[in-house]
Structure 1
Amino acid sequence: MKPRIAVLGCGYWGSNHIRTLKALGALYAVSDANRARAEGFASEQECLAIDPDTLFTRPDVDAIVMALPPQYHAEAAIKAVENGKDVLVEKPIALNVPDAERAVAAAEANGRIFMVGHVLRFHPAFEKLKELIDQGELGEVKYIHSHRLGLGKFHTENDALWDLAPHDLSMILAITGSAPVEIRGEGAAILDHLSDFAHLHMRFPNGLRSHLFASRLNPYRERRLTVVGTKAMAVFDDVEPWERKLAVYRHAVWQDSGHWAFTTNEPTYIPVEDGMPLTRELEHFMTCMRTRQEPRTNGEEAITVLRILTAGAIGHG
């Protein structure tokens, strides 16, 4: 039996969830404060339109995917899990750590699945990159840097750091396996009081360092994660065509008579299984609902992401 999943929030990203769940045969209902918008999607996708005020107590709804403005996520998630619903909450799950902790604690207390929409963790290219790292193909990872740049997606509540960085932070945390011990952030507000650019510098317990650059006021798109190891370097570039999304560079660097020397090699493009990250994310959510296993992108990781965002926000102006 397919689970009966409702999508709360029929905006840009909510609409992607709606269409993907429909294709997976698990879309049961849609819900939005704008009743006409919800009814439009319900008619288009042949599902129910349920008012947000009654959605949480409906016994015929098994789970809720939440794609709301982030300031509403925590309270909605708490209400859902207290009424026996599993939840997938889009990032960021809250605008402060205490709200996130309350939501995650409520899910645990009620035995509910709490998954977070860090969708790039389910990108086949990242999954393959993680596999290469775990197999030791890159050697010991020493440095990770990510760039997520583009134009647009201006929000009234969250800045470039909070909107763009969670995906990259989730990937970085998956690679490092630990939270950073040192975080330094800086940003610049160009259009209004919210930062349009953000830099994060992190140091991890084993000495690994990481740098993140996010911008929503950039003339070109860049979606690149670079991992530097002692044996090789790898780049996950989501702007590249599918067959070039994951590249491994087997450059060599060594000391010769007290001087550094190096050789460069052409990249090896790693074959990557085809598949849409959002489809794979929602399939994982349904698997977790069925098996009651802990999601790959769980609440604890999301809280760590929020702690980093909060610490990195210092100095934004």
Structure 2
Amino acid sequence: MKPRIAVLGCGYWGSNHIRTLKSLGALHAVSDANAARAEGFASEQECLAIAPDELFERQDIDAIVMALPPQYHADAAIRAVESGKDVLVEKPIALNVADAERAVATARARNRIFMVGHVLRFHPAFEKLKELIDTGELGTIKYIHSHRLGLGKFHTESDALWDLAPHDLSMILAITGAAPIDIRGEGAALLDHLSDFAHVHMRFPGGLRSHLFASRLNPYRERRLTVVGTKAMAVFDDVEAWDRKLAVYRHAVWQDSGHWAFTTHEPSYVPVEPGMPLTRELEHFIQCIETRQEPRTDGDEAIGVLRILTAGSVTHD
């Protein structure tokens, strides 16, 4: 029997969780501060609508997916795990490291699954990229850069860095396997006091360096992660079609008689089996509930991402 999962927060991303969990046969209930919205989803998906204050103590709920404004995530997660529920908390799991540590520590003390919604870790193209890196296909990794650009969405509490960068930071940390030893951030606020553009530069143990660029005021969409190794370079471009999402460039650079020389090659596209990252993420969450295994995107990873967001943030007047 599948675990009985409730979704708390029926907004844009919560609605995606609702429909995906329904397709997986694990949706038991929905909950939202807007009762009419919850009732609408309950009727559409043939599940229960439960008021938020009643949700945590329900004995017929095994786990809760939380898709709330981030300032509410930590307290809601703590209340859930103290009530014996496993949780998947959307990013960011808190607006400061202390609240995140408090939530993760409570889940650990109660032996509850605490998973964070870093959905791109479950993208088939990223999984294949990670496999290429782990098997040495790219050589020693020297540099990683990510660009996540587009128009919107605009939030009253989180800027471009906090809204867009967690996905990329999660992937970068998965590749490096270590926390950065130096972080520098730069942002620009054009609409109000929240940054609409953000650059973060990171230096990791062993000399590996990385940067990310996030923007919510860009005229075109860009969703690109580039990994530069000593043997080859790889690009995960999520805007491309499935047969071109993961490209490997085997450019060569060498020194000849005191001068640098290089050759360029056309990219080779790595076959990637299409699959919905959110479906794969929720399948993993269900498996973790059933087997009690530690999630791939656990609380410690979420705290690591929050530390970089905090260090890379720029305050505007």
TM-score under structure 2 length normalisation: 0.99
The residue aligned with 1:54 is 54
The residue aligned with 2:18 is 18
How far is 1:315 from its partner?
5.4
The residue aligned with 1:135 is 135
How far is 1:273 from its partner?
1.4
Contact 2:7 2:65 in 1 (8 A): yes
Percent identical: 86
The residue aligned with 1:148 is 148
CA distance in 1, matches of 2:3, 2:316: 43
CA distance in 1, matches of 2:307, 2:152: 25
Kindly provide the amino acid, as one letter, of the partner of residue 52 in structure 1.
P
Q: Does residue 99 in structure 1 map to residue 93 in structure 2? A: no
CA distance in 1, matches of 2:212, 2:111: 35
Contact 2:193 2:316 in 1 (8 A): no
Contact 2:87 2:115 in 1 (8 A): yes
The residue aligned with 2:114 is 114
| 1:248-259 aligned within 5 A | 248-259=248-259
CA distance in 1, matches of 2:302, 2:268: 33
CA distance in 1, matches of 2:58, 2:206: 48
The residue aligned with 2:78 is 78
Deviating beyond 2 angstroms after TM superposition, the runs of 4 or more aligned structure 1 residues are 314-317
Contact 1:186 1:316 in 2 (8 A): no
RMSD (Å) for aligned C-alpha atoms:
0.6
CA distance in 1, matches of 2:315, 2:19: 40
How far is 1:205 from its partner?
0.8
* Structure 1, unpaired ranges of 5+: none
Q: Deviations over 1:156-202 (max 9, x none)?
A: 00000000000000000000000000000000000000000000000
Kindly provide the amino acid, as one letter, of the partner of residue 293 in structure 2.
Q
The residue aligned with 1:87 is 87
SS at match of 1:302: helix
SS at match of 1:206: helix
Count of equivalent residues: 317
SS at match of 1:130: helix
SS at match of 1:18: helix
How far is 1:314 from its partner?
3.5
Kindly provide the amino acid, as one letter, of the partner of residue 176 in structure 1.
T
CA distance in 2, matches of 1:55, 1:273: 38
SS at match of 2:14: helix
Q: Deviations over 1:271-291 (max 9, x none)?
A: 001110000000000010011
